[in-house]
Every structure is written in C-alpha cells, then in structure tokens.
Structure 1
Amino acid sequence: MLLTLTNGFLDAHTYIARGHVFANVRTANVIFSAIHVSDRQFSAALAHMWPLLAFIAGMLLASHIKSGRVEQVVPHSLRWTIAIQSVVLAAIGFVPAWVDHNFVTVPISFLAAVQIGLFRKIGDLAYLPVATTGNLMRFMESGYDSLVDKRAEARRPLVVYGTLILAFASGALVGAYATGAWGVHAIWLPAGFLAITLCLFLVEQREWMR
C-alpha cells in the first residue's frame, strides 16, 4: 500500500514541479509526446520520451533481477532495490527546480519500471503499484462478482483493490499539497515512505524466519 501511495505522490509531484511530466504514467507521456509532435514542439515531445526509454531500461533490469542472476552477486536484491529507490528520491530532493527536468523524471521512471517488474502481487492478487487503470478494472469486476453474483470469495479482492485505488488517489492529493508547500523538497516524503516500506519488509522477513 505504501508503494502505491508513493507512486501517486510522485506523479502529482513531477507534474507540478518537474515540467508537467508524469514520471510513472506511460500512457499520458505517449499522448503528450504525440500532441507536441503534431505542434512541432519537438523538444517538449522529447521531454516525455526520455521517461519512456528509462521505463524500458527499468523493466529489463527488473526481468534480470527476477531471473535470479543478480541474487547470485547481490544477496537480498529486493531489499537493495527498495533502499536504492529511497536514496535516489532523497537525492533528487536536492536538485533545484531550474535544472533540466530530465535529470529527475528519467531516474524516477526507471525506478517505477523496476517496481512494476518486481512488485506485482499482494498475496495471490495481481496489481500495479504505479497506476490505477488495472486496479480499477479489477475493483469493478470484484464488485460485480460480490454484489451481483453474491460470490463470497470476491469480497477480499474488492477490499484490496479499493484500498489500492484510495491509496494512489491519497498519494496524489498529498503530493499536490506537499509540492505546493515545499516545492522540489516534497519528494523527501515518498523517500521516507520507501524507507518505512523497507523496514516493514525486514521485520516481516525476520518474523517469517523465526
């Protein structure tokens, strides 16, 4: 849930503070790129393309991590992934607003892709931590199954996906307010969310090993 909250925050933050670019949402960047190309604003179109390329690179890294090859070299690679994400976001908070926004949106897009590649399930339920479309679709399907077809097993997915949607929207709302108040430094909040996620992850692993 904290990952989803973080990503809602990041999309609002980068849109407001970093050149109206969605760091996590691929569809929006494709649309904006096409609009700018049609207006012959090629530099603006390129600003939306760099995050897409970073996303591709991030997905490749996530696939490499899931293959187990990274684990042979770097034990507990999932822990390191979350830790690195937190550190990178904290560092980005020191980047002034006048610096080229690509220096911020590109690494965030890369990290978002790694998240999608590595964190796709809550228990046995598939989900996306960086967007709401898929989660909203599954929420409505679960709602129909639960309320119309009276299927008891659909209640848990209904609650889970509803919570995910609420977390993403809440993250975007907090991100908008925080960015308006603190500017580029607001990104330190999601860095903290990821640090908390890492701590919870470590506690859960220790409990499981007992």
Structure 2
Amino acid sequence: MHILHSDTPSPRHEHPAAGLSLAFVGGFLDAYTYLTRGGVFANAQTGNIVLMSLAAARADLAAVGYYLLPILAFFAGVLLSERLRTGQPGHSGSDWMLWVLGLEALLAFVIGWVPVQVPHLWVNTTVSFLCSLQVNTFRKIRGLPYATTMCTGNLRSAAEHFSRFLFAADGASLEHSCGYLLVIALFCLGATAGALAVGFWGIRCIWICGIILLATLTGLAKKEDAE
C-alpha cells in the first residue's frame, strides 16, 4: 500500500505512523466532545457556520457569537501554525511541527482537568483550535494529501482514486484509494476508542490523546536524530 511503503524518501512528518496516529486522535476528539462536552463535533467548522447562519437569520446575536467563537479559534490555529512554519529560518525543516505536537498535547492534558460545570463552549473552542493546528500542519502521508481531523475529503479522495482504478485500470490508484480508506478506518477506530474510554474515565480520557501526541512527537524527533 502506497502510504505504508515507498521507494522514494519522504519527510519525517509524512511518515505513515505519524499520520495514522493523528487520524486516530482526530476520531477520538470528535467522540470525546460529542459524548462529554455537549453533543458537539468540534473538529470541523461546517456545522458551526451553518448554525451561525441560522442564528443570523432569526437575528439571535447571542447565538451568532456563540457559534462564531470556535470558528475564530479554528482560524487562529491556522494562523499560528503558519507563523510557526514561516518563522523558521529559511522556511525549511520540520522542527516547528514538533512544537505544534507539544502544544496539542499540552492542550489535551489541560482539557482533561476542566470540569463539566465549565461551559462546554470553552472546551469545544479549545478543541477547535487544537484540531486546526493539527490539520493545517500535517497535510500529507508519503506525498498524498489527507486530513487527520475530518473524513469528507479523505472519502472523496478514496472514491476518486478508486474510480481511476475502475475505469482506467490504474493499479497505483487502487493503492492510493486503500490508503485513504485506511486513514478513515483509523479515524473510526479513534472514535470507537474514545466512546469506550469515556465510559471508563469520563472527561479525563482525553489524556490518551495527549499521550499519543507526545509519542508521535518523540517518534518524529528520534527519526530526525537517526537521519
């Protein structure tokens, strides 16, 4: 499968282990916010944009502000990740990505301490910020564009590559399609694990994401040392 092996060297941050781990985290976070923080999917912003528009239609300014906050947090996360990237001398290397992973892990551990009595908006906004950092920073596995915090784009890419295999007999496209489906499978596995973990550890279970993020950070750092 293309994303699992390649004869062409790829940057350390495009390593399959990192991408699949982050997809697992993405699914876990969606399950976590839905089950423990008010029934919200905080990873992506399409729902918030639609709900904000509906609130605007009924002139509910308070609701507009409520849905606007996580949208702005997502926007801010992209800005921060871009600043970290372009702030690196020469715009080369990927050390800045380790800082992103470290910040994500820190936020995950902090969220686990926030009691459910705190308005869910603040936790979900923080998760939106965390996810925007992740999805804007880690964009490829072995050169294939993908997303770690949502599935729609990955599903479209899987179908597109499968159609090339089906109608143009392109064997490489089948490998690519299977690669995208594997990413989606890890996202689903993360969501399932998140649902089970909530039953055991409640709001603290997000610390599992923090541990995975730190493990990913450590793995990428060691890969750099080996190179």
Same fold (TM over 0.5): yes
Q: TM-score, normalised by structure 1?
A: 0.88
2:81 and 2:100 in contact (8 A); partners too: no
177-186 or 113-122, larger mean C-alpha shift:
177-186
Counterparts of 1:71 and 1:81, CA distance in 2: 17
Q: Cα offset for 1:40? A: 6.6
1:62 and 1:117 in contact (8 A); partners too: yes
2:124 aligns with 105
1:94 aligns with 113
Counterparts of 1:187 and 1:76, CA distance in 2: 25
1:171 aligns with 190
Q: How many pairs does the alignment contain?
A: 205
1:133 aligns with 152
2:73 and 2:126 in contact (8 A); partners too: yes
Q: Within 5 A, what are the aligned runs for 1:129-208?
A: 129-207=148-226
The change in CA–CA distance for 1:71 and 1:23 in structure 2 (over 3 A counts) is farther
Unaligned runs of 5+ in 2: 1-19
Report the residue type matching 2:39 in the other structure. Answer: H
Q: Cα offset for 1:142? A: 1.1
C-alpha RMSD of matched pairs (Å) = 2.1
Counterparts of 1:23 and 1:180, CA distance in 2: 20
Counterparts of 1:175 and 1:38, CA distance in 2: 35
The change in CA–CA distance for 1:180 and 1:44 in structure 2 (over 3 A counts) is farther
Unaligned runs of 5+ in 1: none
Q: Cα offset for 1:125? A: 0.6
Counterparts of 1:155 and 1:16, CA distance in 2: 35
Q: Cα offset for 1:140? A: 0.6
Q: Are residue 57 (structure 1) and residue 76 (structure 2) matched?
A: yes
Counterparts of 2:32 and 2:122, CA distance in 1: 15
1:8 and 1:171 in contact (8 A); partners too: yes
Counterparts of 2:29 and 2:159, CA distance in 1: 25
Counterparts of 2:53 and 2:32, CA distance in 1: 22
Report the residue type matching 2:72 in the other structure. Answer: L
The change in CA–CA distance for 1:22 and 1:45 in structure 2 (over 3 A counts) is farther
Q: TM-score, normalised by structure 2?
A: 0.82
